[in-house]
Amino acid sequence: MGRNIKKSIAELIGYTPLLELSQYEKLLGLDAHIIAKLEYFNPNNSVKDRIALAMVEDAENRGLLKKGDTIIETTSGNTGIALAAIAASRGYKFRTYIQDRVSIERTKVIQAFGGEVIKFSQVEPYNRIMEETHGDFIAATRALVDVILSKEKNIFFSYQIENKINPAIHEKSTGPEIWRDTDGDVDILVAAVGTGGTLSGAGAYLRKKKPLIHIVAVQPGPDSVPTDDNPEPDEIAGVHRFSDMPPDRIPHTFNLDILDEAIAVETSEARTAARAVAKSDGILVGTSSGAVLHAATLLARRAENKGKTIVVIFADTGLHYLSTDLFTESVSSV
């Protein structure tokens, strides 16, 4: 048997390619280089494959996860997909509590791997807290742990918003991959913030290698987050606002101190960018990646960034959004 034949999907995770968005740059007349880290090349099509494998392996090594146990997570979709696949490949059961308005593809993929999917609205106190706090994912998840999961046996809650393995695996893998593949020629790193693990880990590694690197976090704009006046906005799935939030609403996996800048992007802007790069470069990505690309475009247009290299994290595939209107509306100017 050939030596390069893999034995598990675990061996397929990471080492995703970098691609310069050459046609997008040309289309918009940009004088900076936008380089996309295409995380949909992971076996389950998102950056979350990295943390899913790392959290499971860490739990196994520490005796927190054993045969017959159920892995549990709360998610906007991609972490659930990744954990469901890893659980299936290692013989564990999997259950996820998932946000109500995510695309149907995510639920179907998790179920295809044998995972159980429960919507937030079906669970107390989760749904009540989400309503009272206008979608405070952090508070609702912690309540779920205290009220429900703390009473269960034979489970492992991977707890991506608290698990230090989340940013650690990006410092160990994502950051070094970017440094290696750019030969250290990276001036700006841009990523969206859900748990904040990707930006915190990759950013920590790159900051050690290049102290003057500019690290940029992307968050939803004011019109894309729930408020009293706008309780059900069109949100960017999996991307959460962190500016002006109290400390208890910031995931422990997000290192705010590493940031140089935060850019707020509205959902409409994110969709426009995602549609544009699909047509210009044949790259099909989700809304969060569209938000990152919009932010990178703003950075590329700044005079001080002429000729610089901007690396963006494209977190997942647009194939998870085909049931939404992400790719059905006409492309407007970026």
Q: Buried b / exposed e across 266-304, counting CB within 10 Å, b at 16+?
A: bbbbbbbbbbbbbebbebbbbbbbbbbbbbbbbbbeeee
Can you tell me the distance from the alpha carbon of 315 to that of 312, in angstroms, rounded to the nearest whole number? 9
Catalytic residue among 37, 48, 103, 280: 48
Strand partners, 95: 72, 116
Contact 97, 123 (CB under 8 A): yes
Task: Confirm whether 8 is a catalytic residue.
Answer: no
Closest CA to 221 of 259, 267, 189: 267
Q: Which residues contact 31 (CB under 8 A, 6 or more apart)?
A: 300, 305, 306, 307
Is 158 marked active-site?
no
Question: Which of 89, 110, 113, 100 is closest to 6 using CA atoms?
Answer: 89
d(CA 299, CA 333): 17
Place of tokens 């740059």: 25
Alpha carbon distances (Å) from 274 to 27, 36, 102, 286, 331: 14, 12, 17, 7, 9
Decide the pairing of beta strands 93-98 and 18-20. Answer: unpaired
Cα distance between the two ends of the chain:
50
Decide if 78 contacts 315 (C-beta within 8 A).
yes
Among residues 158, 288, 289, 308, which one is catalytic?
Answer: 288
Give the residue numbers marked as catalytic: 48, 288
